[in-house]
Amino acid sequence: MDIGLLTAFLGGILALLSPCAALLLPAFFASSVGAGPRLLLHGLVFYAGLLVLLVPLGLGAGFLGELFVTQRQTIIVVSSIVLILLGIAQIFGLGFDTSKMLPGQDNLQSRASVSTGLGKSFLLGMTSSVAGFCAGPILGAVLTLAATSGSLIASVLILSAYGAGMVLPLIAIAALWSKLGQRGQRALRGREFHFLGRAWHSTSVISGLLITAVGIIFWMTNGLVGVPELVPAETQSWLQDSASLLGSPIFDILAILALAAVALYAWNKRQRRQQEWEQESETSPAHSGWVITPTQVASQRHSATDEQP
């Protein structure tokens, strides 16, 4: 499962950097949200929007895999072939938009385009989780790994890791957007090159090679069973014991208080900015009478004309 989580996380990064996305989300967050705690808050809300669709997809993929748990060998062979084919399709720039398969996506995109504030970030997360022609094979590969993970919890974790792979680079790139400059932004977008008489895109080729390699490893290791664990068993046991504390009522109360504090801080900061803006508007030259408007100039000229003999 460690390899599956790592692959899903890398898949999320590559989906964010895919040619179709063209870094539109980091550019939007950098220009409309800015940096600092406000960017972090919008990033968390964006991630929540992602999970609204990714978690049900993970549950569905895990449930489908459990239906055929007795046919494990067949599932491994089929999944490996699917991963390899998706990888090859990604290399050649062939894709599909997963959002077209889900109802209500057009309505969500329309609502996201007219929304503002945290609501817009949430709706963008919902639409970005499955949208994108270039990211279709990547999401398909992640869903394939989720279906073969062996449990519903593992499937949800894999899809959550895919979402985290989109959010963490999104926040980092948006925070450093102005410092990256045009050269850095072009480097993150990848580049197109020509080989064997056709055009290729570097990000698509890297994504496809990753998916294809995972498919081959999946086949050779009997569904990643023979792959060494990236996290030692002792560490996994400690993490599971620590995670059990998250279900306690005390943690729920602390989490609610923390979210309330963040929301109160954001609201207070917004109110201060609005008050400062109003004060600056009241003390600006236009309000203090020091600036002569075009209407006043025309009025003075008219008066001067009337006074002439």
Do 136 and 250 share a domain, yes or no? no
Do 278 and 192 share a domain, yes or no? no
Q: Is 266 exposed, middle or buried (0-12, 13-18, 19+ CB in 10 A)?
A: middle
**Number of Cβ atoms within 10 Å of the Cβ of 127:** 22
The lowest-confidence range among 101-110, 245-254, 268-277, 295-304 is 295-304
Do 267 and 132 share a domain, yes or no? no
Residue 237 lies in a domain: no
Residue 294 lies in a domain: no
Do 194 and 64 share a domain, yes or no? yes
Do 155 and 261 share a domain, yes or no? no
Residues 140 and 214 sit within 8 Å (Cβ to Cβ): no
Mean pLDDT of 199-226: 81
Do 139 and 105 share a domain, yes or no? yes
Question: CA 273, CA 35: separation in Å to the nearest integer?
Answer: 15
Do 199 and 271 share a domain, yes or no? no
Q: 142-158, pLDDT tens digit by residue? A: 888 888 887 788 888 88
Residue 80 lies in a domain: yes
Region of 201 please: left (phi>0), alpha (psi -120 to 50) or beta: beta
- Looking at this protein, which amino acid is placed at residue 266? A
Number of domains in the chain: 2
Angle (CA) 144 149 153, round 5°:
115
Do 280 and 224 share a domain, yes or no? no
Q: Which domain holds residue 253?
A: 243-287
Q: 169-179, pLDDT tens digit by residue? A: 888 888 888 78
Confidence of residue 249 (pLDDT cuts 50, 70, 90): low
pLDDT value for 283: 62
Beta-bridged to residue 201, according to DSSP, are 192
Residues 2 and 229 sit within 8 Å (Cβ to Cβ): yes
pTM > 0.75: yes or no: no
Do 260 and 204 share a domain, yes or no? no
